[in-house]
Amino acid sequence: MLKLKSGIAEDIGRILKSEFALDLPQSEILNMVQDGGIEGVDVECRIAFRVAKQLRMAPQEIAQRIMAGLKSEYYTVNNANGYLNFAFTDKFYSEFVERGEGEVQKTNVKVIAEYPSVNPNKPLHIGHVRNAIIGDCVSNILEMAGHDVVRMNYIDDLGLQVAQSLLRYLEGNTGSPQKKFDHYLGEQYVEVAKLMETDADARKRVEEIMKHLEEGDAEICGKGREMCEKCVYAQGQTLQALRISHDVLVWESDIVHARLLQESLELLEKNGILVRKSEGKYKDCMVVELSTLPQFKGMEDADKVFVRANGVATYTAKDIAFQMWKFGIIGNGLEFCKANIKQVDDRQLHTSCAHGLRSERFNNAHKVINIIGVEQEYPQTVIKVVLEKAGFGKQAGNYVHIAYGHAKLKEGRFSGRKGTWIGYSADELIKESITKAYTLVSDRFKNYDEDEKKRISESVGIGAIRFSFIRLGPEKELVFDWERALNFEGDSGPYLQYSYARAHHILENEGMDEGWKGRMVFKEKEERRLIGTLAVFDEVFAKASDEIAPHRIADYSLELCSDFNSFYANCRVIGEEKDVSESRKRLVARYKETLQKCLRILGIPIIENM
- pLDDT tens per residue across span 347-382: 999 999 988 999 889 999 999 999 999 999 988 999
Domains of the chain: 2-88 (3.30.1360.70), 426-602 (1.10.730.10)
Average pLDDT over residues 573-599: 96
pLDDT at 449 > cutoff 60: yes
pLDDT at 413 > cutoff 80: no
Average pLDDT over residues 396-410: 92
Average pLDDT over residues 302-309: 90
Which of 294-303, 401-410, 479-488 shows the lowest per-residue confidence on average (mean pLDDT)?
294-303
Q: What are phi and psi of 489, to 5 degrees?
A: -95, -10
User: Is the model more confident about 424 or about 561?
Assistant: 561
pLDDT band at 270 (very low <50, low <70, confident <90, very high): very high
User: CA–CA separation, 544 vs 538, rounded Å?
Assistant: 10
pLDDT band at 70 (very low <50, low <70, confident <90, very high): very high
pLDDT band at 414 (very low <50, low <70, confident <90, very high): very low
pLDDT at 6 > cutoff 70: yes
Report the percentage of the chain scoring pLDDT > 70: 97
Nearest to 607, CA basis, from 591, 594, 596, 593: 596
| pLDDT single digits (tens) 389-401 | 999 999 999 999 9
| pLDDT score recorded for residue 417 | 35
| pLDDT score recorded for residue 99 | 82
Peptide bond preceding 379: is omega within 30 degrees of 0, i.e. cis? no
Report the percentage of the chain scoring pLDDT > 90: 73
| pLDDT score recorded for residue 418 | 45
- Mean pLDDT, the chain, whole residue set: 91
pLDDT at 423 > cutoff 80: no
pLDDT band at 415 (very low <50, low <70, confident <90, very high): very low
| pTM (two decimals) | 0.91
| pLDDT score recorded for residue 422 | 67
| pLDDT score recorded for residue 419 | 53
User: CA–CA separation, 316 vs 257, rounded Å?
Assistant: 17
| pLDDT single digits (tens) 479-526 | 998 889 999 888 999 999 999 999 999 999 888 898 898 899 999 999
3-state helix, strand, coil in the chain (%, to 5): 55, 15, 35
Average pLDDT over residues 7-13: 95
User: Is the model more confident about 301 or about 455?
Assistant: 455
| pLDDT single digits (tens) 144-201 | 999 999 999 999 998 888 999 999 898 876 555 678 999 999 988 888 888 888 889 9
Q: Please give the span between the terminal C-alpha atoms of the chain, in angstroms, as a whole number.
A: 32
| pLDDT score recorded for residue 420 | 59
Average pLDDT over residues 54-74: 94
Name the packing angle between helices 525-535 and 90-99 (round to 10°). 60
User: CA–CA separation, 445 vs 463, rounded Å?
Assistant: 18
